[in-house]
Amino acid sequence: MTKPHFYITTAISYVNAAPHIGHAYEAIGADVMARFKRLDGYDVYFLTGTDEHGQKVEKSAQAQGKKPQQFADEIAALFEGMCKSFDVSNDQFIRTTADFHKKACQHIWKKMEENGDIYLHTYAGWYSMRDEAFYGEDELTTLPDGKKISTESKTPVEWVEEESYFFKLSAYTDRLLKLYEDQPEFMQPSFRRNEVVSFVKQGLKDLSISRTTFDWGVPVPGNPKHIMYVWVDALTNYISALGYPDGENFKKYWPCDVHLIGKDIIRFHAIYWPAFLMSAGLPLPKRVFGHGFLLTAGEKMSKSLGNVIAPRDMIDKYGVDASRYALMREATFGQDGDISYPLMTARINAELANNLGNLVQRTLSMINKNCDAKVPQPGILEDADKDLLQKAGQAMLIAVRGEFEKMQFSRAIEEFISVSHAANMYIDEQAPWTLKKTDPARMATVLYVLAEVIRNLGLIIQPFVPNAAQKIMDQVAVPAHERDFSFIGEAHALKAGTPLPAPAGVFPRIVDEVVAKTA
């Protein structure tokens, strides 16, 4: 049976500086989705990578006395290393300096040109090198010293006049509005859609898509003194990575199911990119999802404020799995969210250590001591047993799947944490330590039910905490080939008498040094 395909991408990260926690947040979010879909029976392709061309990269390299390619190689390695350090399971890490990517960019350019959508003209306007974007007068704020900045991004702009190729974006206003109306799910969350629709309804201007003032980029076919504007170059990565125009992966996985991006670049993905694809006669992505920013006490992280959380520091403090969990749990995906070490420590301790970890540890310790270290033999199930098993079976998978379809990862976590909480309540109510003396057969049933709940929880938590999930399933002897979501529920329940290894803690409690010193 052929698996359905699922293609997910992150934005490609710009290589003008080292990765920060926001980059990790996006990569982990995409990874959680990719892992979930693989476990749920999909043939998944997951792409991330780096955007390595443009004037910013060229100037950053010059400032360090390096060639742009050398500089890009060094920074790209940091991003690739960040993904590996967080166990991000991408199928490809694309770099836009690759030859196959440059060829794909030139091919889509020719397609748009053949369609009559590219023309040569002179550009005069306000340009932000930091944003790699041109802005109209109505998008600028004039400072007291007379200089202008982008009202939205607060970045400085300079007046630029040069020969440029233009894309007839204005010709796509009606087609884009029809796209948004016919496919309301194309942009998510819905409030991001409203922002884009409002912008497009104001009328689109033709887009400058080449520069002549630098040469670090993809040459325009037929006129190499022009370098492709970064958004033609960067956006094309989503198809060049699949071997566009003729690659088998392109035929197999395009159109993309989800472009996962930061909210600050949604305009490029929801307006420019579909217009380029329409011009080139290519299918459009199914969904563009703009996530929010990670904040500290309501403020963006900055070194000057001393509130930056570095990816490596977070892993050193919590470990990989707990870091992944905290980032996906603390902020509602799609909105800005506050994170801090105290908040994340409290969350990890409450939900991983005290709730889920405690459930696993005390259940398996009782089985190890009282059931000959084997899966217990259950008796007749009571209503309380059936109720808990029902919550931890297909009902849990359906609920979690529903939240994943909306990319509501924090709410998906709530679904399985509530099951773990119910299991802890069940232990307290059933008191197997008392049943050991009064009704050993009933104790065995209770412990069996708990072990089966743990098996199902181990399966469902894999996208968030992949290493811990494997340790949990090892401890209840789940075979390696029975660890996808098709094995959730009673049809694949634990078999009584199966030997179990000695239990070991999975989620250690985090002790903050500051708290420890003042306690």
DSSP state of 256: P
Cβ–Cβ < 8 Å for 157, 128: yes
Q: How confident is the model at residue 133 (pLDDT cuts 50, 70, 90)?
A: confident
Domain annotation covers residue 352: yes
pLDDT at 298 over 80: no
Alpha carbon distance 220, 210 (integer Å): 8
Q: For residue 111, what are its two tokens?
A: 């397609």
Parallel, antiparallel, or unpaired for β 299-300 and 294-296?
antiparallel
- pTM for this prediction: 0.93
CA distances in angstroms from 330 to 326, 334, 350, listed in the order given: 6, 12, 12
Q: Is a pLDDT exceeding 60 seen at residue 73? A: yes
CATH of the domain at 432: 1.10.730.10
Q: Is residue 180 one of the residues assigned to a domain?
A: no
Q: What's the count of helices (H) and strands (E) in the chain, helices before strands?
A: 22, 19
Residue 222 falls within a domain, yes or no?
Answer: no
At position 424, the amino acid (one-letter code) is N
* Residues 6 or more apart whose Cβ sits within 8 Å of residue 272: 169, 207, 231, 235
Per-residue model confidence as pLDDT tens digits over 370-399: 999 999 999 999 999 999 999 999 999 999
What mean pLDDT value characterizes the chain?
A: 94
262's CB contacts (< 8 A; 6+ apart) are 11, 22, 26, 290, 291, 293
**Looking at the DSSP assignment, which residues form a beta bridge with residue 48?**
93
pLDDT at 213: 87
- Give the pair of three-digit tokens for residue 17: 């500086």
For residue 230, is pLDDT > 90? no
User: What percent of the chain clears pLDDT 70, i.e. is strictly above it?
Assistant: 97
Q: Amino acid letter at 465?
A: V
The yes-or-no verdict on residue 517 having pLDDT over 50 is no
Please state, in angstroms and rounded to a whole number, the distance separating the CA atoms of residues 462 and 456. 10
> Is the pLDDT assigned to residue 484 strictly greater than 50?
yes
Task: Provide the pLDDT confidence category of residue 307 given band limits of 50, 70 and 90.
Answer: confident
Residue 301 maps to a domain: no
Enter the tokens of residue 434.
């008392």
- Domain residue limits at 433: 341-492
Helix 440-460 with 394-405: angle, nearest 10 deg = 20
Kindly report the three-state secondary structure assignment for every residue of 328-364.
Answer: HHHCCCCCCEECCHHHHHHHHHHHHHHHHHHHHHHHH
Higher local confidence (pLDDT), 192 or 112: 112
Mean pLDDT of 358-371: 98
Q: What is the pLDDT of residues 394-422, one digit of tens each?
A: 999 999 999 999 999 999 999 999 999 99
Residue 453 within any structural domain of the chain? yes
In angstroms, how far is CA 297 from the centroid of its own chain? 23
For residue 519, what pLDDT band results from cuts at 50, 70 and 90?
very low
Residue 516 has pLDDT above 70, yes or no: no
Question: Domain for residue 202, yes or no?
Answer: no
Distance CA 5, CA 41 (A): 9
d(CA 337, CA 477): 38
CA 309 to chain centre: 18
Task: Using the CB atoms, write b or e for 14-53: b if 16+ within 10 Å.
Answer: bbbeebbbbbbbbbbbbbbbbbbbbbbebebbbbbbbbbb
Answer yes or no: is 375 within a domain. Answer: yes
CA distance 210 to 204: 18
12 assigned to some structural domain? no
Total domains present in the chain: 1
Q: How many CA atoms lie within 13 A of 445 on its CB side?
A: 15
Q: Say whether pLDDT at 125 is over 90.
A: no
Which of 413, 365, 288 lies closest to 36 in space, CA to CA?
Answer: 413
When comparing pLDDT for 36 and 308, which is higher?
Answer: 36
Strands 140-142 and 148-150, sheet pairing: antiparallel
If pLDDT is split at 50, 70 and 90, which confidence band does 444 have? Answer: very high
d(CA 267, CA 199): 9
Residue 160, classed as helix, strand or coil, is strand
Place 302 in a pLDDT band, splitting at 50, 70 and 90: low
User: Exposure pattern of 434-471 as b/e (b: 16+ CB <10 Å)?
Assistant: ebbeeeeebbbbbbbbbbbbbbbbbbbbbbbbbebbbb
Predicted confidence band of residue 223 (pLDDT cuts 50, 70, 90): very high
